[in-house]
Amino acid sequence: MKKIIIFLSIILIFILLAGGVYFFVLRDGSSTTANPGFNFDGSPITITQDDSIDFVVDSTPIKESTTLTQIHEAPVAGASAYTSEVLVAVGSTTEARLSTFVQYVDKQTGHVFSYSPEENVSERISNTTFPGIQEVGWFTDPNKLVFRYINGDGEIETYLGEIVDGSLVGSYLDIDLPSTQTSDNSLLTVSSTDRGSEGFILNNEGREERSSFETNLLSFTVPVFAESFVAVLTKPASSLAGALYFYENETQQRILGNKNGLTALPNKTGDYVIFSESTDRSFMSSIYSRETGDMRPLPLSILPEKCVWASETTAYCMVPEIVPPANYPEHWYQGYVSFNDSLWRIFVDEGSAQAIAFFDESGPFDGINLSIDSDEEYLTFINRRDGSLWGFDL
């Protein structure tokens, strides 16, 4: 009888162990994808399966990852892709031709480089040293730019400079400016006041200052501004309801609100906004149309910080293939979570998304600070994992 009891006890222990393995290993592993979904055409990305989402997805990549180039291995503070006219020798004469270039700033030294995708060559064009650059703002004129860094006293320095004969010459703006943003050949600076904050618009030489907006907000970012409006976004946190405001014609309008963890990127006209909001240990993404007031959910998990607008209706985004459970967006901001991204093109007016490339062999990439030239031929991004700069031939 005792032998039978011992035998049954051993069987019971094995059953319990097997159940524990399933619960703690298999069950937990199956929950690493935050958004339940399915794969199209065998692609590695998770696409939300929801019949209510009216968005066409083509996940067959149209490019090979061999068109990807590492431009700079060391950490980069910022980069900008642009198209410029160059003179090319043709026989005994010369002719003007449009070419794509990328200008970027080495984070450690502050040196500015120019990269030619056509020749696959980088050239240092500024030797002026600014150690520890944290942020770079670019103007239409690529030789004029804004540096932001922390000085030895822990203060935020903002330097407005121009590349002249291999050096960066310019002047410092007010100390500890909470935020700056560039647009075309204008610079927006934000200053703290007794009532909150105030924005001013300057030209790319730091002159012709004019008031842009006043707000009682203290903690916010400016994702974009244009001649007609300034977008102000409250600092995102998964536990707090955020809001996006447009300041235009001396009036304030709330565009989006009451959304936890709200982060957003409007296009240059303000007609469309890519935004995301926190869900239970994940996030969901949508497109907002200002004209209709419609919010169209996206079947892809997109953080606006991983996108760039190429036109009024087309955006390029680095999209996480899998979203691990976390508090978004702050856990991603703080580096607790990293992604493995693919490159996608979003047509907001058509309601469709097209996969451009998957980078399984070259990555992993957690892409930020995307830029694209005016002809949509070349795109750059910084890999947040190590700060390196990459370019992709579209």
Query: Which CATH number characterizes residue 146's domain?
Result: 2.130.10.10
In a domain? residue 20 = no
Residue 89: the pLDDT is 63
In a domain? residue 27 = no
In a domain? residue 31 = no
Residue 5: the pLDDT is 43
Smallest CA-to-CA distance from 301 within 19, 9, 33, 30 is with 33
In a domain? residue 9 = no
Residues above pLDDT 90, as percent of the chain? 74
* 19-71: pLDDT as tens digits: 333 322 222 332 223 232 223 333 456 666 665 677 888 888 988 777 899 99
In a domain? residue 21 = no
The three-point CA angle 291-51-275 to 5° equals 40
Smallest CA-to-CA distance from 59 within 46, 77, 41 is with 41
Residue 208: the pLDDT is 84
Residue 101: the pLDDT is 96
CA atoms within 13 A on the CB side of 244: 27
Count structural domains, the chain: 1
Question: Which stretches of the chain drop beneath a pLDDT of 70?
Answer: 1-52, 86-91
**Which spans in the chain are helix H?**
2-21, 27-30, 330-333
In a domain? residue 25 = no
Residue 40: the pLDDT is 31
Q: Residue 360 and residue 341: Cα distance in Å, rounded?
A: 9
Residue 9: the pLDDT is 47
In single-letter form, the type of residue at position 237 comes to A
Token look-up 């696409």 returns 47
In a domain? residue 52 = yes
In a domain? residue 47 = yes
Contacts of 45 (CB under 8 A, 6+ apart): 39, 59, 300, 319, 320, 321, 342, 355, 358
* 321-355: pLDDT as tens digits: 999 999 999 999 999 999 999 999 999 999 999 99
- Whether 99 contacts 91, CB under 8 Å: no
Q: Which domain range does residue 251 map to?
A: 37-393
